[in-house]
Amino acid sequence: MNTTPFTPGLSEHAVVITRVTDRHWHALHDALVVGRGHAQHRPDGRLFVSVDAWHDTAFDRLAATMSASLPGPLYTVVDEADTELTAAWLRAGFAVRRREWEYAVPTDPRLTGLGTVLPPSGVTIVPAGQADESLLRAVDREIRGEVEATVGWHSMPAEVVPCRDGDTLVDPSKYAVAAATDRYLGLIRVVTAIRPRIGLVAVRADAQRRGVARALLAHALGILHQSGFAEAWTEVQESNRAGSALFEGIGARPMSSNLELVR
């Protein structure tokens, strides 16, 4: 966030909030835009808001107006190191809901120890872009159902890419899968738009603790290493001890943390 403390030249009454579109707001001072607010539904249905303002006063007015105009609950995500932005959202009535750690994951098998990892007996890894879409959707639905019935899908890393209503597969070509003879046991999604990001690693409950997740990681990281990428990135919720252990066990390093806040 780019804010400066309140100054006499920018009083609360001098800031005018204008709703530009259904999901966009501007803060105006003497006809100049001094802040912008935005709201967006994520694929999981939750409504996330963001504010970029040049002054605390503009931020506070935007946050208050958006909170009054939108149906709750409202969510936002901040870099925990950005103490000014965190304080601004807390001032606006938001509270910390959870913390996600961002990990840098090496791809070199000499560093990960995954060079000799093979899939369990009877399991093969189907590379990204080659999975049967109907089987892929089936395993995605089953895993999501299992997660929702236990810790809840809200505990998974926030998914920020758009998708059609009811469609939980963002882009089927991005998923590699672990396949048994008649069904898929697990999946991994890797996106390499700007830097490689592991968006999801998940295995059916009845196939866990067999090395399926490690085999999926060995495959995906091996492909990235061959493509010249030294690192990938991923996010793990702080309470997900199994996820943290999986990545830290292959040499991943926590680099930063994000806070998800809710009002």
For residue range 189-207, what is the model confidence (pLDDT) as tens digits?
998 878 899 988 999 999 9
Distance CA 221, CA 197 (A): 10
* pLDDT of 242: 86
Q: Are 212 and 203 in contact (CB under 8 A)?
A: yes
Decide which of 145 and 185 is more confident.
Answer: 185
The pTM of this model reads 0.76
Q: Which domains does the chain have, with CATH numbers?
A: 12-93 (3.40.630), 102-258 (3.40.630.30)
Confidence of residue 157 (pLDDT cuts 50, 70, 90): low
Q: What are phi and psi of 115, to 5 degrees?
A: -60, -30
Q: Read off the pLDDT of each residue in 164-173 and give the average, rounded to a whole number.
A: 71
Residue-wise pLDDT tens digits, 44-81: 778 999 999 988 999 999 999 999 999 989 999 999 99
Distance CA 35, CA 16 (A): 10
Bridge partner list, 257: 101
Residue-wise pLDDT tens digits, 3-41: 434 344 455 568 899 999 999 999 998 888 999 999 998
Average of per-residue pLDDT values in the chain: 87
DSSP string over the chain:
---B---TTS-GGG-EEEEEETTEEEEEETTEEEEEEEEEE-TTS-EEEEEEESBHHHHHHHHHHHHHHSPSPEEEEEETT-HHHHHHHHHTT-EEEEEEEEEEEE--HHHHS-TT--PPTT-EEEPTT-S-HHHHHHHHHHHHHHHHHTT-GGGSPPP-S---TT---S-GGGEEEEE-SSSEEEEEEEE-SSS-EEEEEEE-GGGTTSSHHHHHHHHHHHHHHHTT-SEEEEEEETT-HHHHHHHHTTT-EEEEEEEEEE-
Residue-wise pLDDT tens digits, 92-115: 999 999 899 999 999 999 999 999
Distance CA 139, CA 96 (A): 32
* pLDDT of 144: 84
Mean pLDDT is lowest, of 129-138, 144-153, 181-190, 216-225, for 144-153
Does 169 have pLDDT greater than 80? Answer: no
The C-alpha R_g of the chain, in whole angstroms, comes to 21
* pLDDT of 162: 47
Decide which of 162 and 117 is more confident.
Answer: 117
Decide which of 12 and 82 is more confident.
Answer: 82
Q: Read off the pLDDT of each residue in 164-184 and give the average, rounded to a whole number.
A: 83
* pLDDT of 34: 92
Q: Read off the pLDDT of each residue in 205-223 and give the average, rounded to a whole number.
A: 95
